[in-house]
């Protein structure tokens, strides 16, 4: 059903319509409730003189979650998406919306009332028995605290932006013959060889003095941090071990009303107060820290900063905790004595990689004079020489940076790239076979042309949005995101 709506409704308004079905509490302030929405009208950004407030951002974030849930079949993999990054991405979308709406309004573009009405009448969400229902329309808007006038203005804005985007698409210029040139490049094949110089090959040549070790540690202390951690005092209760399950609610109420201590809450259920070992935000595979809800509570503002008891935490059916901070340790560098071997190995690896880089430069100079030097060097140091025949740009059987370098070089050229695993690769291009688009079917050629037009249009739109941002003052309040 949601896909059908998106097929019939363009732009950001589509997700407003989807929200009418799937998530009414987003518009009603429910999402603000779950995210601590007492400050729901706090200004998170200003675009020119226009404000974007927190509840708008919350709504946009939840709409993005809805999109992602659909992509993953209803459930989001835990920890797969960074909340902070998602909120910033959603805010950038709202900023772009504001910029586009302002620009379109300044151009005096118009959408007739009839076109707005026709668009709304065609939105299936408002249909009953195959026809538009005014009663359903008003009911759904009312449930979401939208007046017909407000919703119609939202639709009007979307149509205006759609008009402008259509103009941008039609005005994007793609030169004739571009599809053929693209296919020629895409079908080009290159044969090359490469060899990998790993830092491990040179580690035995590296000696580290104590003074070098100490200097490196001082310069890189922030890479050897002991993470922020807390020890918790906690009450643990299981519903099936109590003579009266109502005691759990009583415990939760007392913990809230007496936030300065766990003792009154513990007395309610006759439980002992116990203490955890150090817990970090990464959690653990066992003990208290295996429960993400407990870790989240431990590092919440109420528990960590204010020293209050947590809310009641249910980690599984009938298994409850209330926690409070017992000790807190800020993130701090681990002493050199604890990380000496780790620091020594890292410094040795970096020095060895420098040697690999220098060896690669020397090898390039030799191979440029005599191509056979590459295979000779590989035999001498015991490294594998990879020979690649007829690779295309899309080749994924070899490191992507190596393939890109092979397609950058001229025939007979030699170059180097660094790989992710402390390795330098030396690449020699042996042969280039130009691509031939002559055998391509007309249908595929037309599709390639359309794809190029779409890419060009997107690039034009991105450049246009950058220009709009340069002309309008955009201020973001990071503390309120």
Same-domain check for residues 345 and 304: no
The answer for residues whose C-beta is within 8 angstroms of residue 170's C-beta and 6 or more apart is none
Phi-psi region of 425 (alpha: psi -120 to 50; beta: other; left: phi over 0): beta
CATH of the domain at 420: 3.10.50
For residue 28, name the pLDDT band (cuts at 50, 70, 90). very low
Average pLDDT over residues 199-219: 95
Give, in order, the Cα–Cα distances in Å from 26 to each of 20, 144, 413. 9, 8, 59
Kindly report, residue by residue over 51-89, the tens digit of the pLDDT.
Answer: 898 888 888 888 888 777 777 776 666 666 677 788 888
Mean pLDDT for 218-247 is 94
312/400 same-domain check: no
Q: Closest Cα to residue 323, out of 393, 276, 257, 367?
A: 276
Helix (H, G, I), strand (E, B) or coil at 66: helix
Asked which of 40-49, 129-138, 338-347 is least confident by mean pLDDT, the reply is: 40-49
Residue 45, domain CATH: 1.10.4030.10
160 and 256 belong to one structural domain: no
Tell me: the pLDDT tens digits for 178-189? 777 878 888 899
The pLDDT assigned to 39 comes to: 59
Identify the bridge partners of residue 425 per DSSP, sorted by sequence position.
Answer: 196, 417
Using the predicted structure, report yes or no on whether residue 11 has a pLDDT greater than 50.
Answer: no
177 in a structural domain = no
- Asked if 389 and 245 sit in the same domain, the reply is no
Categorize the per-residue pLDDT at 216 as very low, low, confident or very high, splitting at 50, 70 and 90. Answer: very high
Domain contains 450: no
Mean pLDDT, range 99-115, rounded to an integer? 84
In a domain, 296, yes or no: yes
Residue 159 domain boundaries: 2-172+471-480
Q: Is pLDDT at 359 greater than 80 in this prediction?
A: yes
Closest CA to 16 of 6, 1, 29, 30: 6
Examine the domain organization and report whether 213 and 356 are in the same domain. yes
Whether 79 and 141 map to the same domain: the answer is yes
Of the three residues 330, 349, 368, the one that is the final residue of a domain is 330
The predicted model gives 129-149 an average pLDDT of 88
Q: In whole angstroms, what is the distance from residue 25 CA to residue 27 CA? A: 5
Q: Is 453 contained in some domain?
A: no
Indicate if the pLDDT at residue 473 is higher than 90. no
* Integer angstrom CA distances of residue 186 from 190, 432, 437: 11, 13, 9
CA distances from 153 to 7, 11, 56, 159, 408 (A): 21, 14, 17, 10, 51
**How far apart, in Å, are the Cα atoms of 272 and each of 232, 259, 264, 265?**
14, 17, 11, 10
pLDDT band for position 250 (cuts 50, 70, 90):
very high
Can you give the pLDDT at residue 161? 82
Average pLDDT estimate for 251-274: 95
Q: What is the pLDDT of residue 76?
A: 64
Q: Are residues 7 and 134 in the same domain?
A: yes
Residue 395 has pLDDT above 80, yes or no: yes
Is pTM beyond 0.75? Reply is: no
Do residues 101 and 7 share a domain? yes
Angle at CA 7, nearest 5°, toward 52 and 102? 30
- pLDDT bucket at 5, cuts 50 / 70 / 90: very low
DSSP 302: I
Looking at the 3D structure of the chain, how many domains does it have?
3
Domain boundary among 264, 299, 330: 330
What are φ and ψ of residue 10, in 5° steps? -95, 160
The answer to whether 13 and 154 are in contact (CB under 8 A) is: yes
Residue 439 lies in a domain: no
Domain identity same for 315 and 263? yes
Quote the pLDDT of residue 77. Answer: 64
Sheet holding 414-419, edge to edge: 385-391, 189-198, 423-433, 414-419
pLDDT of 401: 95
Concatenating the DSSP letter of every residue in 310-325 gives PPPEEEETTEEEEEEE
Q: Are residues 157 and 13 in the same domain?
A: yes
The CA distance from 332 to 295, in Å, is 20
Same domain, 210 and 233: no
Q: Is the pLDDT of residue 341 over 50?
A: yes
Q: How far, in Å, CA of 357 to CA of 417, rounded?
A: 9
Residues 10 and 115 occupy one common structural domain: yes
Per the domain annotation, does 282 fall within a domain? yes
Whether residue 10 is predicted with pLDDT greater than 70 in this model: the reply is no
Cα gap 239→16, rounded to integer Å: 42
CB atoms within 10 A of CB 407: 17
Q: Where are the beta strands (DSSP E) in 16-133?
A: 43-47, 50-53, 127-128, 131-132
Helix axes 54-71, 83-106, angle to 10 degrees: 110
In the listed set 286, 301, 330, which residue is the last one of a domain according to the structure? 330
Judged against a pLDDT cut of 50, whether residue 291 lies above it is answered with yes
Over pLDDT 70: what percentage of the chain? Answer: 88
pLDDT at 407 over 90: yes
Which tokens hold the place of 141? 């808007």
β-strand partners of 476: 45
Residue whose C-alpha is closest to residue 479's, from 39, 23, 11: 39
Kindly state the helix (H) or strand (E) to which residue 161 belongs, with its residue range.
helix 148-171
Between residues 152 and 170, the one the model is more confident about: 152
DSSP letter string, 105-138: HHTT----HHHHHHHHHT-GGGEETTEE-HHHHH
Residue 217 belongs to what H/E stretch?
A: helix 210-219
Tell whether 270 is covered by a domain: yes
Whether 17 shows a pLDDT value over 60: the answer reads no
Q: Is residue 22's pLDDT more than 50?
A: no
* Average confidence (pLDDT) over 274-296: 92
Amino acid 314: pLDDT? 94
Q: Are 377 and 363 in contact (CB under 8 A)?
A: yes
Domain assignment present for residue 193? The answer is: yes
């Amino acid at each position: 059903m949601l896909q059908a709506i998106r097929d019939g409704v363009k732009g950001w308004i589509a997700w407003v319509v989807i929200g009418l079905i799937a998530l009414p509490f987003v518009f009603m302030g429910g999402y603000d409730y779950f995210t601590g929405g007492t400050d729901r009208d706090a200004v998170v950004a200003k675009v020119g003189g226009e404000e974007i407030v927190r509840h708008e951002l919350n709504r946009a974030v939840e709409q993005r979650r809805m999109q992602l849930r659909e992509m993953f079949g209803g459930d989001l993999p835990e920890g797969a998406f960074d909340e902070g990054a998602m909120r910033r991405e959603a805010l950038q979308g709202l900023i772009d919306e504001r910029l586009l709406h302002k620009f379109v309004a300044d151009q005096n573009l118009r959408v007739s009332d009839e076109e707005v009405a026709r668009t709304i009448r065609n939105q299936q969400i408002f249909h009953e028995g195959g026809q538009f229902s005014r009663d359903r329309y008003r009911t759904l808007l009312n449930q979401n605290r939208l007046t017909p006038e407000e919703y119609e203005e939202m639709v009007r804005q979307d149509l205006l932006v759609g008009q402008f985007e259509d103009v941008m698409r039609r005005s994007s210029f793609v030169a004739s013959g571009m599809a053929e040139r693209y296919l020629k490049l895409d079908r080009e094949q290159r044969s090359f060889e490469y060899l990998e110089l790993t830092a491990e090959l040179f580690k035995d040549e590296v000696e580290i003095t104590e003074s070098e070790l100490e200097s490196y540690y001082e310069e890189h202390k922030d890479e050897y941090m002991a993470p922020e951690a807390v020890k918790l005092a906690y009450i643990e209760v299981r519903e099936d071990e109590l003579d009266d399950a109502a005691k759990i609610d009583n415990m939760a109420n007392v913990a809230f009303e007496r936030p300065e201590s766990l003792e009154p809450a513990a007395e309610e259920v006759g439980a002992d107060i116990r203490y955890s070992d150090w817990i970090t935000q990464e959690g653990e595979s066992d003990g208290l820290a295996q429960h993400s809800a407990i870790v989240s509570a431990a590092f919440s503002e109420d528990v960590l900063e204010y020293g209050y008891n947590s809310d009641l935490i249910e980690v599984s059916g009938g298994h409850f905790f209330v926690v409070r901070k017992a000790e807190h340790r800020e993130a701090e560098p681990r002493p050199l004595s604890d990380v000496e071997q780790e620091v020594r190995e890292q410094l040795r690896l970096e020095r060895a990689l420098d040697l690999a880089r220098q060896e690669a430069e020397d090898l390039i100079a030799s191979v440029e004079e005599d191509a056979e030097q590459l295979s000779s060097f590989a035999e001498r140091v015991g490294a594998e020489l990879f020979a690649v025949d007829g690779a295309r740009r899309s080749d994924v059987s070899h490191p992507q940076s190596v393939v890109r370098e092979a397609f950058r070089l001229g025939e007979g050229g030699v170059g180097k790239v660094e790989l992710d695993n402390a390795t330098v690769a030396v690449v020699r291009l042996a042969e280039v076979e130009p691509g031939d688009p002559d055998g391509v079917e007309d249908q595929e050629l037309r599709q390639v042309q359309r794809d190029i037009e779409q890419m060009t249009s997107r690039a034009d739109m991105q450049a246009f949005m950058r220009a709009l941002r340069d002309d309008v003052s955009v201020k973001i309040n990071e503390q309120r995101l």
